[in-house]
Amino acid sequence: MNKNNVWIANVAAPVMIMVLLLFAGSRNVKAADQPAAANAEVKIDNFVFGPQTISVPAFKSKVRDTDEKFSYKFDKAGTYSYFCSVHPKMTGKVVVQ
């Protein structure tokens, strides 16, 4: 299998502006207050880890205007969910094999 673990994603912003937030892991937890990028914290309460799932941004692009591009090099396998932080309903996924 001639598969590179490295994959370069080239995302073009078609019609609208985008700020991409890429999260490692499957689904973003819709918890009340998500910890900020740098220091995410998991606490233990009553023998339970909380929050159960945390998502930490792999990166955050600068704002992209129409036709502007953003590139990111993935060097670890996994599924990466991303969304446009200006239009949160715009979501997508990159699966690195």
Binding site for another protein (CB under 8 A): 15-17, 19, 21, 23, 28, 30, 32-34, 63, 65-66, 81-83, 85-89, 91
**Token pair recorded at residue 55:** 């998502």
For residue 4, the minimal CB distance to another protein (Å) is: 28
For residue 8, the minimal CB distance to another protein (Å) is: 23
Instruction: State how far the alpha carbon of 65 is from the alpha carbons of 9, 21, 62, 69, 83, in Å.
Output: 18, 15, 10, 8, 15
| Closer residue to another protein in complex, CB, 30/73 | 30
